[in-house]
């Protein structure tokens, strides 16, 4: 099991978090300003990060307010075939988000980078849903020489 795991709590209802993960408006508010596609089952969504690169995700599962499962179908070699799950549940005033980026072949240095960067983007998602404004690329927090 070579997975990236994260947990954030967002002070809002699960439906609002789910909307930020399944609409072009939501996705472009926390991950990258350049998104093509939305998040219904079977959809492919394209996330472009300027000249740095892109990720193409196929939506495998989408259970409103509860769970999303994506598969990376194009982008960096290390990502292709990996799966990304988002599990949401209400806990008091929070929606708890359990995030997993699963199935890395090797714990390469790029995986270390992506792990830290996922935390940054999950906190951007939290900010977007709680305040209306996230920090999507290119305004994301830079963590290292790979950005």
Listing DSSP states for 54-96 in one string gives EEEEEEEEEETTTEEEEEEEESSGGGTT-EEEEEEEEETTEEE
CB of 98 to its own copies, least distance (A): 6
Are residues 127 and 133 in contact, defined by beta-carbon separation less than 8 angstroms? yes
Nearer to its own copies, 51 or 109 (CB): 109
What is residue 36's three-state secondary structure? strand
Nearer to its own copies, 25 or 142 (CB): 142
Give contact residues for its own copies (rule: CB under 8 A): 1-9, 91-94, 96, 98-100, 107, 109, 111-113, 115-116, 118-120, 122-123, 126, 141, 143-146
Are residues 52 and 58 in contact, defined by beta-carbon separation less than 8 angstroms? no
Nearer to its own copies, 60 or 96 (CB): 96
CB of 111 to its own copies, least distance (A): 6
């Amino acid at each position: 099991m070579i997975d990236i795991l994260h947990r954030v709590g967002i002070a809002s209802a699960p439906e609002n978090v789910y909307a930020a993960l399944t609409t072009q408006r939501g996705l472009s508010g926390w991950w990258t300003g350049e998104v093509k596609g939305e998040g219904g089952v079977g959809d492919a969504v394209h996330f472009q990060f300027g000249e740095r690169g892109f990720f193409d995700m196929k939506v495998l599962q989408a259970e409103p307010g509860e769970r999303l499962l994506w598969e990376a179908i194009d982008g960096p070699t290390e990502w292709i075939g990996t799966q990304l799950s988002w599990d949401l549940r209400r806990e008091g005033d929070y929606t708890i988000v359990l995030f997993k980026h699963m199935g890395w072949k090797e714990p390469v240095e790029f995986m270390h980078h992506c792990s830290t960067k996922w935390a940054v983007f999950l906190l951007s998602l939290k900010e977007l849903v709680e305040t209306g404004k996230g920090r999507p690329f290119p305004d994301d927090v830079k963590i290292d020489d790979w950005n």
